[in-house]
Structure 1
Amino acid sequence: MKRAASIAGIIIVLGLLAFPKVKDYLKASETASQNNSGSAAPLNVEVYIVKPDIVENKIFTTGTLTSNEEVELASESSGLIQEIYLREGEDVKKGELLVKINDSELKAQLKRADFRLNLAEDREKRQKQLLEKGGISQEEYDATLNEVNVLRAEVSLINAQIEKTEVRAPFTGKLGLKYVSDGSYITPNTRIATLQDIDPIKIDFSIPERYAAQIEVGNKVRFTVQGIEEPLVAQVYAKEPRIDSDTRTLQVRARSSNPDGKLLPGAFADLELTLQTIENAKMIPTISLVPELQGQKVFLLKDGVVHPQSVVTGLRNESKIQITEGVEIGDTVLTTGLLQVRPQMQVSVKQVNGE
């Protein structure tokens, strides 16, 4: 009992000795806190002033270059090659003779048919005079006239067969490698060479079906190919009228000028397609956007005071996003301090962007 009373007495004495110091410390802390709260500096923030801008709705895809026109040259008839006029890699004009097949037998048939036709035409003239004088019947004259017409048709047929012994360029273009030689026997299945028109050159590509309604004939396409540093431009001129049910994509074709022939069919291309261009769009930095349960918001600065504002967004690019509702041209949007600011809070502008 005496021991407990002694311990209690010691604690009381120590408390009385420490009380003045603790009191002074608490008073000093309260004073300092009051001083700090009264002289705290406003939060420094950076802001962006909204101004009209141009925004493009783009999609990125890949494609393949194809010839404007392309054909594998072949003969319509079989026979020995009499002469080859084509030169590999050279430009040719439409209708230019490239390969000639031996047609000596057909020319002999044509000569015989011409002799028979001339004889029949002379006989028809004489019988016509006799018919006018009543020397022969109408039936006899008609038989002779029919023979003349048959022989004329035969001459036309042989001429058509002779034309098939000539391989001509179906369009203006550039020849590829040849696969036959003088004296070779060829058939309609024999590959002679390739002919391609590569100016302009076409680009085949596909886009997801969700963009099908947005793409239009005339849309610009920027593309790059390996070996050419500068970006090139093409223009959409056609698209399939249906969606591919297997890939859920729409096949599109564009065309680009290729006067120097640097672009070659079969090359791989990276494409950037502009579906829509919006002028006077209200764009803000993406970092200014704050997600919330009901959508998205930004913090506007008006007269040095922060005001939260719900917004509706549109298109987006690398660093900015379009605001369709909630922000007007000339508004000041916070780009920093978004986690520290509160509604109606006063802030200090450290830097203004977008001026």
Structure 2
Amino acid sequence: MKGKSRLAVLLLFAFAIACKEEKKNGGGSAATGAPRNAPLQVEAFIVKTQSLSENLEVPGTLLPFEQTEIRPEISGRIVKLNIPEGSFVKQGTVLVKLFDEDLQAQLKKLQVQLQINAKTAERQKELLSIGGISQQEYDLSELAVNNLKADIDLVKVSISKTEIRAPFDGRIGLKAISDGAYISPTNLITTISQVAQLKMEFSVPEKYSDIMRKGRMVTFTIAGTPKTFNASILATESAIEANTRTLKVRTIVKGSDPLLVPGAFAKVGLKLDENDKALIIPTQAIIPQARNKRVALYSNGAVKYQVVTTGIRDSSYVQITDGLKLGDTVITTGLLAIRPESKIKLTKVQ
């Protein structure tokens, strides 16, 4: 019993010494760091006015001003092929000639018949003037003449379809047929592109659709050169794409340059809005909420939250249209650790 009493006394004595030592050191937290109520060190920004513009960069594609596939209207055998691949041709140049000797023979036959019937109609006209024939007989001879003229015109149209011509000035693509081949309207002969003038297409988010007006200028760049090119909006799609929520825009490229090749990728720069005296704060100072946006406003060593309305923005700053005034101080760092009425110490102010 005496041994157990002595052990209990020793344990109580050791506990008393430990408590005394803890009080002397001011608690466990003081031994490892600053006091619990130390101010939170953050950086801040003083609201000011500055020229601000909002720019948007979207991908685009260069296209020929006009491009079409060359196909025959009728079936036939190729007797002459004139497709200079990769070269420019003038409008109306004969690219392909199909066999037409049967049509030419039919045309000659009809022309001979027309001459005979025309002479017969002339003689019957003279007979009609002296009462040698009736008016009906003369009308039938005139009808035969007119029918032959119509048949001749029809054959001439068929002959013209045996000649496939360039629909406009442009560059010929690669040919898909050879001389002597038999082709039909389903066969692709080649393509022709009008590359002296180019178009460019790109898409913008639907919120910018109202400012994509005809005549608006845009700038763009292409890979391999730092040069900037210009284009003007020609038209926009009639409806917004439901899957991507974007609006397709078509522009006309200003001028020509050997670097601009149809199908090339382009980076399109759009200057959407500009304000010479915008009230700005850094973009990282904005705290997005479910229904609004707010900032942490510094005042007399403490912080309070202020709901704001934003306007245009660039990569670094955002315009504040409501909620702040010139000279206010907003906190830009430590926003996740700050609580309302937190004690704040500013380490850097911009």
- Report the TM-score when normalising by structure 1: 0.70
Amino acid in structure 2 at the alignment position of 1:246? N
Deviation per residue, 1:27-64 (Å, 9 max, x gap)? xxxxxxxxxxxxxxxxxx99778455252353x33233
Aligned alpha-carbon RMSD (Å):
3.8
Q: Which residue of 1 aligns with 2:145?
A: 148
Q: How does 1:135-284 map to 2 (within 5 A)?
A: 135-257=132-254, 259-274=256-271, 276-284=272-280
Q: Is the 8 A contact 1:298 1:311 kept in 2?
A: no
Change in CA separation of 1:106 and 1:291 when aligned onto 2, cut-off 3 Å: closer
Deviates more, 1:160-169 or 1:278-287: 278-287
Q: Deviations over 1:299-340 (max 9, x none)?
A: 799xxxxxx997542111012222324667xx556588999x
Segment drifting more, 127-136 vs 287-296: 287-296
- 1:102 paired with 2:89, answer no
Q: CA deviation digits over 1:92-139, x for unaligned, max 9?
A: 121122222222221111111111111111111221222222221111
- Contact 1:298 1:310 (C-alpha < 8 Å) held by counterparts: no
| CA deviation after TM superposition for structure 1 residue 79, in Å | 2.2
Whole-Å separation in 2 of the counterparts to 1:113 and 1:292: 84
CA contact (8 A) 1:220 1:236 kept: yes
Structural mapping, 1:9-158, within 5 Å: 50-51=48-49, 53-56=51-54, 58=56, 60-158=57-155
Residues 199, 257 of structure 1: 8 Å contact kept: no
| SS of corresponding position for 1:272 | strand
Partner of 1:200, secondary structure, is strand
Residue ranges of structure 1 left out of the alignment (5+ in a row): 1-44, 302-307, 340-349
Q: CA deviation at 1:231?
A: 3.3
1:73–1:287 distance in 2 versus 1, CA, 3 Å: closer
Q: What secondary structure is seen at the aligned counterpart in 1 of 2:176?
A: coil
In 1, the alpha carbon distance for the partners of 2:293 and 2:256 equals 52
Post-superposition shift, 1:235?
2.2
Cα distance, 1:286 vs structure 2? 1.0
Distance (whole Å) between structure 2 residues aligned to residue 90 and residue 226 of structure 1: 25
Residues in 2 aligned to 1:80 and 1:174: alpha-carbon distance in whole angstroms: 25
Counterparts of 2:102 and 2:213 in 1: how far apart (Å)?
56
> 2 CA distance for matches of 1:241 and 1:337?
43
The letter of the residue matching 2:228 is P
| Inter-CA distance 153–257: structure 2 relative to 1 (3 Å threshold) | same
User: How far 1:169 moved relative to its partner?
Assistant: 0.6
Tell me how far apart the structure 2 counterparts of residues 336 and 300 of structure 1 sit (CA, whole Å).
Answer: 7
